[in-house]
Structure 1
Amino acid sequence: MKRVMPIRDKEKLRQMKKVLKDQSERNYIMFMIGINAGLRISDILPLRVRDVKGEDMNVLEQKTGNEREIPINDSLKRALQKYIRGKKDNEVLIKSREGMNQPISRDMAYKIIREAGEQVGLVRLGTHTMRKTFGYNYYQNTKNIEALRTMLGHSDVRYTRIYIGIEEDFIREQYMKHTNL
């Protein structure tokens, strides 16, 4: 099985946002949280309105059990403010149509991302694509791999490089530049 990859192309990223927004505001918000906050899907799905009302997003990481406050950037803040208007504090953000105030399943989140990716011509996508896209774009903008390692909670920058696909980009570039016989 191939690993999922970040969305590297800004135009494809814009197209993904549009497809998801056209599907539903819920799907768009899930994606926006993923690409702007770098959270795992297991940390996005339990979020409630109260968790995103301030300047920071209050997150209980499911994998580590750690509580974190993640600053909400302007792009995400605008999208969230519109989305949560009129919703109750206890309401789940990424709500399923089945059950009372329950989030969608991880499988449904995966299906949403995969199908939107197919519509814009992207493959090797899954829910982790959102987190990887956050990491990849952060690194491209800052080149600060150590800060990114900390943000993603990785123990070693080597893992972070592989995780966001920059190691793969480098190897590919070397093949293309230096093996044209």
Structure 2
Amino acid sequence: MSNEVNPIKSDRDIAKMKAALHGRNRLMFVMGVSLGLRISDLLEIKIGDVRGKTELVVTETKTKKPRRIKLSKTVIAEVKKLEGADDEYIFRSRQGGNKPISRVQAYRILNEAAERAGIADKIGAIGTHSLRKTFGFKLYTQGIDVTRIMAILNHSTPAMTLKYIGITRDEIDAAYEAIEV
């Protein structure tokens, strides 16, 4: 696995990924892109953490900081379909026992879906972190200020956030060229 993975930038490609996934794996993708959590935190979510709720509270593994996340209508609708006890992991391993799937398994699921969706070559390196990067990119394209995205992703500088979500010099130049007074 390479360290540098890319966000999925087009809504069409996001839709293709969703269509290439089913059940638990589709929910992992939807929640990953919707919540912006690191995969280690996403995989630790239990059914009871989200069932019947409008927000999720997690203590981030990396920062040890609690984070409160408002759940979108899409996530709430997907969560309503969940079956199982509140103490079960949402992304439970099929290996038996109540354990979440591994990061490696999540990586495999996403890469296989990108191949099935026909977007693997277009996007380039895709991995579990692509979900979080896609979340940041979506916020940016919806006009959310980069300093707010920086705070949400817990980055130290706006430049780090722009690099992280894959905003390239070409995209910045194109934005300036789009302004004609």
Category of TM-score, reference length = shorter chain: 0.7 to 0.9
- In structure 1, the partner of 2:44 is 46
Q: Read off the aligned partner of 1:5 and give its amino acid letter.
A: N
1:63–1:169 distance in 2 versus 1, CA, 3 Å: farther
Matched residue SS, 1:15: helix
State the superposition RMSD in angstroms: 1.8
1:162–1:168 contact (8 Å) kept in structure 2? no
Confirm or deny that 1:89 pairs with 2:86.
yes
Confirm or deny that 1:73 pairs with 2:72.
yes
Q: CA deviation at 1:170?
A: 2.7
1:152–1:2 distance in 2 versus 1, CA, 3 Å: closer
> Partners of 1:29 and 1:74 in 2: how far apart?
13
> Partners of 1:171 and 1:163 in 2: how far apart?
14
Confirm or deny that 1:152 pairs with 2:144.
no
> Partners of 1:134 and 1:108 in 2: how far apart?
21
1:171–1:64 distance in 2 versus 1, CA, 3 Å: same
Residue of structure 2 aligned with 1:119, choices 108, 111, 116:
116
- In structure 1, the partner of 2:13 is 12
Residue of structure 1 aligned with 2:35, choices 14, 37, 62:
37
User: What's the TM-score, normalizing by structure 1?
Assistant: 0.88
1:151–1:169 distance in 2 versus 1, CA, 3 Å: farther
Of Structure 1 and Structure 2, which has the larger fraction of its residues in helix?
1
> Mind listing any 5+ residue stretches in structure 2 that lack a counterpart?
none
> Partners of 2:172 and 2:58 in 1: how far apart?
35
